[in-house]
Amino acid sequence: MKKRRGDRELAGDIVTLLNSEPDRVRHPDMKIRSLLQQAKDAGDGPLRMQYLGEAQKHIAKLDRARHGGLVSRLQGQVLALQGRGGDCRVAHVTPGESVIPESLQTPELLATLRAAAQAQGIDPTRLIVGSRRNSINPSTGQPEFYDYNGEDIEEVDVPAWSPQEIDDAGAMAYTEAAGEHNPELAQAVVSAAKNRLGVPGFSPNDNLSGIIRAPGQFQGINDPTSQPWRVSQFPTAMTQDETNTYNQYRDIARQTLSGQLPDNTGGATSFYTGTPSQKTLAGMMARSTPPVLTTNIGGFNFYKPRGR
C-alpha cells in the first residue's frame, strides 16, 4: 500500500501542479479566473481595476481560434465586474423590461411572476440572472432575456461547466459522501450546491465554485482540518484506493452537473446531518420563509426555501 505523504510534501505537490505546463494547457483560464475572483473580492476601487487589467492581459494571450467562446465569456466577466453597487453580471435586455431588486422579491410577488411566466409557456428559472437555464447569446456568451412572443426559438446550450467547477463539485462529493460509501448522497449534495445558482439570499449565487467554497456554507468544505477535503486537493498524493474512490465521485459530480443524473433532492439548497439546530433554522429563515424538508438521503436531511 502506498504510504501517505506528509503535509510539507503535499504542499510542494500543489505548488508544482499549479505551475506545471500541462495544467496550464488543460485549464488555460485558471490564472484569469483567479484574477477575476481577486477583483471581485477587492471591492470597488483602484485595486479591482488593477486585477481586471492583469486579467485582460492574460485574456489577450488566449488563442481565439481555439478558445473563442471562452474569450467572449471572460471579457463579459471583466466588463461585468466594473459594475457598481454589487452588480456583477451583464446581459442582453430590451428597453421597457423590468428588473426586480432582491429587496422587492417577496414570496407573494415571486409566486405571481412564476404563475404568469408558466401561463405564457416560459420556464421561470430562465428569467433569473445567473441561472443555468438562461438563454445564452451564441455570439457574445452573455445571457439574453427577450420576449419570445410564442415563437419557436432554438435554445442555445449554456456554456459547459468550467474544469474548476467540476473539480470543486467532485471534491465536495468526495468530502461529503465518500466516507459514507453512498453515491446517491454524492449526487444529492452536488445537486443542492447547483440549486443555489441564481437563488436570492445566498452569496455568492452566480458561480458554482464560489458557492461550494463560500465560508461557513458547507461543513468540511474548504476546511484544512477536514481530512477528506485536504486529500481531495492533492490528487497526485492519494493512495491508489483513494484515487479510485475520488475518480468515482468526481464522475458522479460531473454527471449531476450535466443533467445525466437528475436532482434527487426535490430542489433542496441546504442539507444537514440530523435535524438542524434552532439557530441554524433561524439562519435559513432569514433568507426566506421557514424552510421545507424535501428528503432524507444517507442520514442527511435536505431543505429548500418555502415557495421555491
**Across residues 92-108, what is the average pLDDT?**
84
Average pLDDT of the segment spanning 5-28:
50
Q: What is the mean pLDDT of residues 82-99?
A: 82
Task: Place 283 in a pLDDT band, splitting at 50, 70 and 90.
Answer: low
> Omega into 46 within 30° of 0, i.e. cis?
no
Q: How many CA atoms lie within 13 A of 183 on its CB side?
A: 13
Q: What angle do CA 127, 210, 135 make, to 5 degrees?
A: 25
pLDDT at 253 over 60: yes
**Set of cell numbers at residue 117:** 411566466
Mean pLDDT throughout 175-180? 85
Q: In what helix (H) or strand (E) does residue 18 lie, and over which residues does it extend?
A: helix 7-18
Positive or negative: CA dihedral 212, 218, 224, 229: negative
Residue 158: which pLDDT band, with cuts at 50, 70 and 90?
Answer: very low
Report yes or no: 213 and 168 within 8 Å, Cβ to Cβ: yes
**pTM, two decimal places:** 0.53
Q: Using CA atoms in the order 288, 293, 295, 300, what is the torsion angle rounded to 10 degrees?
A: 90
The percent helix, strand, coil of the chain (3-state, each to 5) is: 50, 5, 45
Amino acid identity, position 293: L
Half-sphere exposure of 34 (CA within 13 A, CB side): 8
Percent of the chain at pLDDT exceeding 90: 14
- Sequence-distant (6+) residues with CB within 8 A of 190 are 169, 172, 173, 252, 253, 256, 257
Residue 18: pLDDT over 70? no
Question: What residue has cell string 477587492?
Answer: 42
Q: How far apart are CA 193 and CA 186, in angstroms?
A: 11
